[in-house]
Amino acid sequence: MPGWLQGICLFTVGSGYALALWAMHVNRFFSSVIRIQSDRGQYVVTTGPYAFVRHPGYTAGILIIAASGPALESWLAAALVVIFSQPFLLHGTITEDRILHVELAGYSDYAARVRWRLVPSIW
């Protein structure tokens, strides 16, 4: 693999981690479990990466997973990880979005303003 391509992949992995940390920093309700945190007074977070996409944690996961294999110069690892993990991340995004629409006050209005779930101008 050309060094420049490996460099781009390493940068992408780092960017994914930075995005995840940013999302966790601005959203004190960030969690790996899909649930409404009523006990903590959960509300819709609209700042930071949430101003651009509704699920930046999943976006970060996709960046990290998709670029890790090529960054380590393993196309087989890249293909297997993408094939087996991306469907779960997409399913998680769709499931979380449905739950938030129904159970979190203000989320539907937020979703109308921030149209993109994962990638601006795409989905």
**In 3-state terms, what secondary structure has residue 119?**
coil
The number of domains in the chain is: 1
pLDDT of 120: 80
**Could you tell me if residue 119 is inside a domain?**
no
**Could you tell me if residue 121 is inside a domain?**
no
pLDDT of 87: 87
Using pLDDT thresholds of 50, 70 and 90, give the confidence band for residue 14: very high
The share of the chain scoring above pLDDT 70, in percent, equals 100
**In 3-state terms, what secondary structure has residue 72?**
coil
**Could you tell me if residue 76 is inside a domain?**
yes
pLDDT of 16: 98
**Could you tell me if residue 66 is inside a domain?**
yes
Nearest to 30 by CA among 17, 44, 9: 44
Nearest to 67 by CA among 4, 16, 119, 3: 16
Q: pTM of this prediction? A: 0.88
**Could you tell me if residue 32 is inside a domain?**
yes
Note the pLDDT tens digit of each residue in 62-112: 899 889 988 988 888 888 888 888 888 889 899 999 999 999 999 999 999
Task: Give me the domain span that covers residue 86.
Answer: 3-113
